[in-house]
Amino acid sequence: MTGVSWHPGCPVGLDDLRLLAVSYWGFDGEVHFGRLVVNRDAARPLLTVMRRLYRLHYPFRRMRLVDAYGADDHRSMEADNTSAFNCRFVSGTSRWSQHAYGRAIDVNTIENPYVGSDGHVSPPQGEPFADRSLHAKGLIHAGGAVVRAFAAVGWGWGGSWSGDKDYQHFSASGT
């Protein structure tokens, strides 16, 4: 991670981060093993969520550290990767993202894209999934099991924001 997703100047030190190794159900119906880096204060809540989603057989496309994509958020999203920590700013700002604190996760980024109030969809492959009335593997719905699992540990969902919607995004602060 050093020099890739974490570097000097990040708002959280390496000592405050934890590596989680989790089992998850893949889109292929098989069990896979993934890794997530999170803040130490987010480790227990996120493990609770991941255990609940595993019991529900909620599928993930893949779960790799963002370092596998050179810490490039867009490359990770285009790979439909679920990831957490990445020392980066909120897009278009100089404000640290909740990912930079290890207190946010993006889930199945193609099936749950970012949809701007201007209609911009990121990643572009997620455009068909901007229609939230769809029922597809890995899609997150308001009031659904994934949203409820994160809400049970106090995390908010970007799909409930007014204006822009970040359907992949969950965070401890709700932002």
Residue 26 located in a structural domain: yes
pLDDT tens string 97-135:
999 999 999 999 999 999 999 999 999 999 999 999 999
Residue 1 located in a structural domain: no
Domain total of the chain: 1
pTM metric for this prediction: 0.97
Query: DSSP states of the chain as a string?
Result: -BTTTB-TT-SS-GGGEEEEEEEEEETTSSEEEEEEEEEHHHHHHHHHHHHHHHHTT-EESB---GGGGTT-HHHHHHTTB-B-----BPTTSSSBPGGGGT-EEE-STTTS-EE-TTS-EESGGGGGGG-TT---TT---TTSHHHHHHHTTT-EEGGGSSSSEETTEEESS--
pLDDT tens string 64-75:
999 999 999 999
Residue 150 located in a structural domain: yes
What's residue 162's pLDDT? 93
Q: Which residues of the chain have pLDDT under 50?
A: none
